[in-house]
Chains A and B, each alone.
Chain A
C-alpha cells in the first residue's frame, strides 16, 4: 500500500511539472538557507568533547589592579588567563584527576635542508595530561610521560602537517628536529582524524586551528620562553629579569583541570578559594574575592565563542524556512482541492478517509525529501562559498553527520507540516456531494 501511495504521488507530481518544480524549489531553498546557517552556528556551538566537556574546568582569578577592573567599563570582569605563579600553585593540588597549565610559544624549526628552509612554528607548552585530558588520538607513539615533565626532557609531539613539513611524513617517533638552538625528540605523532573546527582548549585570540607542536611546559624557565599570544598585566614587575617576570602579576597562562565528580569539583573550588584567601594575606589579590571555575561549555559561552551575528542569522534562517513552508501549504492546498472530483470518486468507491489522507501526506513527504536533498547539496555548496570568504587560519567550515541529519529531519518536518492541513482538507470531502456535481 505504501509503495502504491508513492507511485500515485509521483504520478500526481508529474502531472503538473511547473507546480511541482515550484513546490520542490520552495523546500530546497528553505532547507539550503536554514541548514547553512544552523551548520555555521553548530561549528562554534558543537560540543568538542561529548560526554567529557562538562568535566573539564577552566580557572580564572581576579588578580587585577585594586583601582580598576580588568575591563574598566565592567566592574565584574576578570583577566582571561592566570599568572605563572598561580598556575604553579594550582598544579600543587592533587584533587584534579588530570590538569595542565599551558600557553603558546613561537620557535623556528630547522628541518633537514633537503626537506626545506627554516620555518616558524607555534608551540603549545603543556603538561603530559593535556593529551589524555583532551582525548587527542595518536597515529604513532603517544604523549610524553610524567618523568619527561619532571626533568624536563627535550621531547615534542607533532601533528600530521608538521610531520610532513619537518620529516616528509611517515613514522617520525624517535627522530629529532632542531627548534631554535636545541634538538627535540619526537615522541608522538597526532592522528590525521584530529581536526577540530578550532582550538577548543584555548579561546584567547579567537577561534583558530590547534598548534602543530606540543612541548613540556617545564622547559619554559629553562629556555626563558615568552608567550607568543596575549599577555595582560597592570603592575610593573620588580626588575627586568626573567625570574621577576615569572613572579609578576602578568596573566598569560591558561589552566584546565579534569574534575569528574561533583565532590571533586567542590573540593577543588575550596582548594582554590583557600589559596586565594591565603594570598590576600600576603598582599596579593587586592580586589574583592572573585574566582571563576567554569566547565568547558560555560567557558565557551563566557568567551562568546559563537559570534552574535551567527546566532541572529540562524534564527532568521529558521523563520525563512517557515515562510517557505507556508508557501508550500498554499500551493498544496490549491493543488489538492483542484483534485476534489477525483478524490470524491475514490471515496465513493470505498477509499477510507485515512487512506486518502495518507496518500496525500506521502505525496507531500515526497516533495519534502526531494526538496530537502536538493537543499542539502545546495547548502554544501553555500558553505564552501562561505569557507572561501572567511580568512584562512580561522574555523574549519563544513557539514558533519549531525548537521546532515538535522537537515533531513527539517525537510521531513517541513514537508509534513506543510502537507497536514491540505491533506486533511481533501480527505474530509463528502463523496456524495461531489458525485452530484459531476
Chain B
C-alpha cells in the first residue's frame, strides 16, 4: 500500500485529522487513568479481615432504664444477653466486645512491650464470651480466652491478651511470642500474651490496621453493650430477625440496633464502589463517543470525496484499494493520536499523582488502552470505508 499519496492527500484536510488525533489522544489519557483509578480502588477492596465476614452480625443495646447505673445489674444483663443470643437457633458463637470489623476505626492505645525499645500504637478492644468463635478467626499460637481470664472485680485490670501476628512480628520478629508481656506506657498493668491471631485487619485512620490487642475485659458499662454474633452459613437473616426480640426479653429498658458485617463492609467501601462504577460508565461512554466521532468525520470525508473515489475506480482501482485507502488513512491518524495519547496519559497521571494521592500508571495498562483504541478506530472506520468502496465508477462521469 503506497503510504505517500495517502499522506499527501491527508495534508489537504489537516484540521479534520488534527481533531481526530487530539480526540484519540485525550481519550487514551482518560481511559487509562480511569482504569488506573479503578484498579487502585479494587486493590483497596481486596484486603481481607481474617474473619468470616459474611456470617457475622452485630447488635448494640443502649440502656435508658435508671437501674443501669449499678455494675452488678449491668453484669447480670450482659451475661443474660450472651446466654440468650447463644441459644438462638443458627448462632455459632457470640461475644460482648467493642470491636466491629470494617468499621474504619475503633479504639486504640499506646503501649510498651518487653524487649521492644519504643512505645507503639495498636487497636485495643475488650471481649467476653467466645471472641474467636464470633469472628471465625484462627489462632496461630496459644489459646483463646477463658471465663477465668476476666477478673471478678471489675476494677481490677486484666492479666492476659491476644494479639495479631503482624503486631507480634513488629515487636518480637518471627518467634513464638506466647508468654511475652505488654504493659502500659508507664510499664504498669502487665498483660501476658496467651494467643496470636493468624490474620487480623481492621482499617484505622492511623497506620495500625494490622495491629490489635484484645483483652478479656468488660467492654460494656452503663452506656451500653455491643455484641458480635456469628451465624451458621445462610442463617444470618433468621438470626437478625430473632436478635432484637431475644434482647428485649432479657431486659426491655434499652434501645437496640442490629446489623450485619457485610453491611458495615459495604458502607466502608461505598466510596470505592462509587468510583469504580462512575469511572466504568465514563470509559464506556467515552469510547462510544470517540467511535461516533471517528465514524462521523470519516463519513463526511467519504461523502466529500465521492467524485474522487469514482474517478479512482474508473481509472482501475479495485474496491479493496479504496477500502485499504480509508483504513490506512485512519490507521495513520489513530497511531499518531495514540502516540500523543501515551504522552498525555503519563502527563495526566503525573498531574493526578502530584496533586492527589493517585497511584502511578503501570505500563501494561497503556498497552491495553492503545490496543483497545486501535480496534475502536478500526471498527468505527469500517462502515464509512465500505460505503466508499461501494461508490460506483460511473459517478466519475456524471458531473465533472
- A interface residues, Cβ below 8 angstroms from B: 19, 22, 26, 29, 33, 37, 65, 67-68, 71-73, 106, 108, 110, 117-120, 180-181, 226, 230, 234-236, 307-309, 311-313, 315-317, 319-320, 322-324, 326-327, 329-331, 333-335, 337-338, 386, 389-391, 421, 425
A389→B273 CA distance, assembly (Å):
8
Residue of B nearest to A328 (CB): B293
List, in ascending order, chain B residues with CB within 8 A of A72's CB.
Answer: 121, 206-207
A to B CB contacts below 8 Å, 24 in the list: A67-B118, A72-B207, A73-B207, A108-B64, A117-B255, A311-B356, A312-B33, A312-B352, A319-B26, A319-B348, A320-B285, A324-B289, A326-B19, A326-B23, A327-B289, A327-B292, A330-B296, A333-B16, A334-B296, A334-B299, A334-B301, A389-B274, A391-B270, A425-B15
Q: Does B386 interact with chain A (Cβ within 8 Å)?
A: no
* B289–A26 touching, CB < 8 Å: yes
List, in ascending order, chain B residues with CB within 8 A of A110's CB.
Answer: 64
* B356–A118 touching, CB < 8 Å: no
* B300–A334 touching, CB < 8 Å: yes
- B interface residues, Cβ below 8 angstroms from A: 15-16, 19-20, 22-23, 26-27, 29-30, 33-34, 37, 41, 62, 64, 66, 105, 110, 118-119, 121, 184-186, 188, 206-207, 223, 255, 267, 270-271, 273-275, 277-279, 282, 285-286, 289-290, 292-293, 296-297, 299-301, 303-304, 348, 351-352, 355-358
List, in ascending order, chain A residues with CB within 8 A of B66's CB.
Answer: 181
List, in ascending order, chain A residues with CB within 8 A of B186's CB.
Answer: 236
A323→B30 CA distance, assembly (Å):
10
List, in ascending order, chain A residues with CB within 8 A of B303's CB.
Answer: 334, 338
- The smallest beta-carbon distance between B265 and chain A, in angstroms, is 11
A366→B372 CA distance, assembly (Å):
34
- The smallest beta-carbon distance between A66 and chain B, in angstroms, is 11
For the complex of A and B, the 7 pairs showing the least CB-CB separation, nearest first, are: A334-B300, A327-B293, A308-B356, A108-B64, A330-B297, A326-B23, A330-B19
A324→B30 CA distance, assembly (Å):
13
List, in ascending order, chain B residues with CB within 8 A of A120's CB.
Answer: 62, 255
List, in ascending order, chain B residues with CB within 8 A of A334's CB.
Answer: 16, 296-297, 299-301, 303-304
Main DSSP-derived SS at the B contact region: helix
* B30–A320 touching, CB < 8 Å: yes
A78→B271 CA distance, assembly (Å):
27
* B292–A22 touching, CB < 8 Å: yes
* A323–B352 touching, CB < 8 Å: no
List, in ascending order, chain A residues with CB within 8 A of B33's CB.
Answer: 312, 316
List, in ascending order, chain A residues with CB within 8 A of B271's CB.
Answer: 307, 309, 390
Residue of A nearest to B344 (CB): A319
* B282–A320 touching, CB < 8 Å: yes
* B277–A323 touching, CB < 8 Å: no
* B34–A309 touching, CB < 8 Å: no
